[in-house]
Amino acid sequence: MAEAAAFAALWVPFCRKHDIEPRNPESYFGLRRDPTKNKRRQDFVRDRRRVKREYDEFKVRVNGLPDAIRRRSDAFNAREEMKQMRRMKEAAAAGDQDVMIEVVKVKKATWMADGTHWPGTWAVTALEHGKGDHASILQVMLKPAMAEAMYGRESGEQLGIDFTEVDVRLPMLVYVSREKRPGYDHNKKAGAMNALVRASAVMSNGPFILNLDCDHYIYNAVAIREAMCFLIDHGGEDICFIQFPQRFEGIDPNDRYANNNTVFFDGNMRALDGLQGPMYVGTGCIFRRFALYGFDPPPAASNSTPSHHPHFVVAETDSFRPQSFYDDELNPSFLPKRFGNSSALVESIPIAELQGRPLADYQSSLYCRPPGLLRIPRPPLSTSSISEAVAVISCWFEDKTEWGDRVGWIYGSVTEDVVTGYRMHNRGWRSVYCITAGRDAFRGSAPINLTDRLHQVLRWATGSVEIFFSRNNALLASNRLYFLQRVAYLNVGLYPFTSVFLLVYCFLPALSLFSGHFIVETLSVSFLVYLLVISITLTLLAILEVRWSGVGLEEWWRNEQFWLISGTSAHLAAVMQGMLKVVAGIEISFTLTAKSAVDEEDDAFADLYMVKWTSLMIPPITIMMVNIIAIAVGFARTIYSSRPDWSKLLGGGFFSFWVLIHLYPFAKGLMGRRGKTPTIVFVWSGLIAITISLLWVAISPPQGSEAAASMGGFQFT
């Protein structure tokens, strides 16, 4: 982060000067297009060449940091040990036993280049100095910028880049690592986000918060400004967050495992935007800070009385005294019980509510509008504010508070993002789905390997099952949640249970072929008409959704295929795992082991062809083998039958083939790049085939002429 902050002093002014997009240097320099397109300044080529050279050197330094830090730490640790040995020898020579007793062995530590300890790296773990056992760490990498624009050539002076007309200010950059101690439940991502909310409230108290995963970055610099248009415009006082769609890089062109989730992000989420708003999906989201504090939204302007409408009263001292709907809830005597014993944190909450109001609230007030609330200069950082920020990220701070229960990110679920968004909607807040025109707002990476993708879906489905069996079930929602929004959240908790019906759907054609009876007893005209109407209706609905959302047919089909793959594997496992946890209190995990890798290291999609075995693959393999064997059994029965009924074979075979087509991406994933199926797949396939054959013989043993026919016409006596 220190290296990145130093490079940003050059990169950010360069982006502002030449209007660079995207502002991720790796993505920008990797674009395959003419970089001079639409660039009018004559010095662009020279500046770009010099910044590119500096970026290449920056990457070399960053990639060499692990080895450099290790060598530096070894040298400093060896120097400290030599000092201790010298002191002990001097004490021994002087016969001073007290000094020898006081001299203790220096603990090995990680050292910075300036010769100081860095407590946030645990190359050599020790007591109270390890990944899960350390004090709070807060390091200010870049100090807060000045309120006024600062022009100059400081950042590019050594490289000869002219920044005289460019604002060279950089935002404050702070590294935060919350305290962790053995025996404390740190609540993973949700706990880390709540710690960041508290630390930022004390240090900067920005009214809006951008949440990105570590594998996402900003791809459109205007995206945050577009979100501001919703949050501070008229009618935006009850908007809790702005959710952007997730867009990914590094996915294979065919998107074999539907990693883009196009149907969800371009169909479902856009549809929810017409209700109470889209769900929070954990990244690419801008929050109103005050909404994260667990308060109810203000009443709608059309339904509120003048006394409830937020406004400002001008006192004789020309200061502004805020009056709002939250005056009772913002009573300082009540806030510590909810937010913890930090005066700085408690004092920041009314200010966050004040700064986060839409501009229309001030324009329509009875008195006057305070000038530039969002641009009020913040006081410089002090030792006391940093010490307070360190205190609010301690592991004990949340004890006997409402953090994780009503305030901030909600604890107790694997999918804390969905639960957090649900709680906000349940209190009456609404959200907005923002799709930026032209360039995507954010870009990220996704697991393109079959096993990794299945485990990702398993985690989501497990969280959904937890939601269904918790008080966050939409059936228990308040009347502030819209009816259709309630149905949408109810679907979040119910969809893993559709795996039971998918299993029946996949095995029913095979049972039809094994038994020799069609799925239905008679193909009457009324049944065929009913089936035709249902099929046409579903087809028209699919076409309507595809046309409305703009999803391509290939993307829609990939989504259908992976829905069956994940439904018969990850969703089924999540239901079993959730039921065992709820009923018996037993927790199980599905492990994976790498079985084969790819030789080509330069292939961008090498991970796509890597085969890792996991127990989640057993149900889809079973479905494939059962249907293949069923087709073979049905074909053999029809050929050797005295009166072959080809219609039953075609009917059952068509539905079995339909199931196998859905599982085609799964089969390709098992075969890897060159079609080499792992040995474990053959072992499981053989066991399944033998089990099915023995089970079928035990259930319906051939007798008499049937046995003779099955043996090719030979009969033994």
Concatenating the DSSP letter of every residue in 427-491 gives TT-EEEE---SSS-SEEEE---SHHHHHHHHHHHHHHHHHHHTSTT-GGG--TTS-HHHHHHHHH
Q: What is the DSSP string of 203-271?
A: HT--SEEEE--TTEEES-TTHHHHHHHHHSSTT-TTEEEEEPPP-EES--TT-TT-TT-HHIIIIIHHH
For residue 196, pLDDT over 60 is answered with yes
Percent of the chain with pLDDT over 70: 79
**Of 555, 561, 676, 662, nearest in space to 610 by CA:** 676
pLDDT of residue 677: 56
Pairing assessment for the beta strands 430-433 and 239-243 based on DSSP bridges: parallel
Cα-Cα-Cα-Cα dihedral sign, residues 495, 497, 499, 505: negative
pLDDT of residue 113: 73
pLDDT band at 212 (very low <50, low <70, confident <90, very high): very high
The count of other CB atoms within 10 Å of the CB of residue 179 is 19
pLDDT in tens, 437-475: 888 999 988 888 888 889 889 989 988 998 999 899 999
pLDDT in tens, 93-104: 776 656 555 555
pLDDT of residue 712: 46
For residue 391, pLDDT over 90 is answered with yes
pLDDT in tens, 60-110: 999 998 888 888 888 887 887 788 778 777 777 776 656 555 555 556 677
Give the mean model confidence (pLDDT) for residues 418-429: 94
Residues of the binding site for Mn(2+): 189, 213
For residue 264, pLDDT over 70 is answered with yes
As a whole number, the mean pLDDT across the chain is 80
Lowest mean pLDDT of 103-107, 183-187, 525-529, name the range.
Answer: 103-107
**Of 35, 34, 57, 58, nearest in space to 47 by CA:** 35
For residue 665, pLDDT over 70 is answered with yes
The tally of CA atoms less than 13 A away on the side-chain side of residue 398 is: 30
CA angle 186/188/191 to nearest 5° reads: 65
Residues of the binding site for UDP-alpha-D-glucose: 188
- What pTM does this model have? 0.82
pLDDT of residue 301: 44
Give the mean model confidence (pLDDT) for residues 279-307: 77
pLDDT of residue 106: 57
pLDDT of residue 40: 81
Residues of the binding site: 188-189, 213
The count of other CB atoms within 10 Å of the CB of residue 712 is 7
For residue 598, pLDDT over 90 is answered with no
pLDDT of residue 153: 63
Residues 6+ away with beta carbon under 8 Å from 308? 298, 299, 325
pLDDT in tens, 683-712: 666 666 666 666 666 666 655 544 444 444
Lowest mean pLDDT of 135-144, 244-253, 372-381, name the range.
Answer: 372-381
Q: Comparing 53 with 644, which gets the higher pLDDT?
A: 53
pLDDT of residue 104: 52
d(CA 230, CA 392) in angstroms, rounded, equals 31
